[in-house]
Amino acid sequence: MTTNDVQNVFVALADPARRKIIETLTEVGAKTATQLVPGLEMTRQGVTKHLNILADAGLVTIYQRGRDKYYVLTPEPLEEATLWISAIAARWDERLEALRQFLEDDNETTGET
């Protein structure tokens, strides 16, 4: 499941509204869907959909207080994203020398589009 976990986390982080929710929950601690609506330009149901995606990634936990449903950040799954990235970075450092080899043989071109 670990491989699917990192997928869900990266998908969750790929949307600006969801990152903003994460930032807000980081600052405020706990909020309901309706409390999150102002600031995100979107209806409550839209916010709820994003919260569900965050919940699927394990990034929020829900605490129900009567009719209110408070969402709280669960940052642990972020670690999996960080691990994936740092594994790449680590292996990349090993490859740098071989890369230099490649570049010396060649004429370079700009990679910008």
Partner DNA sequence: AATATACGCAACCAATTAGTTGCATTTAAT
Partner DNA sequence: ATTAAATGCAACTAATTGGTTGCGTATATT
Would you tell me which residues interact with DNA (CB under 7 A)?
Answer: 11, 14-15, 17, 32-34, 41-46, 48-50, 53, 65-69
User: Closest separation between CB of residue 51 and DNA, Å?
Assistant: 8
The binder of 83, among a copy of itself, DNA, none, by C-beta within 5 to 8 A per type, is none
Q: How far is the CB of 83 from a copy of itself (least distance, A)?
A: 11
Query: Which long-range CB contacts under 8 A does 2-6 form with residues at least 24 apart?
Result: 2/80, 5/57, 5/58, 5/77, 5/80, 6/80, 6/81, 6/83, 6/84
Least distance to a copy of itself, CB of residue 37, Å: 20
What single DSSP character describes residue 77?
T
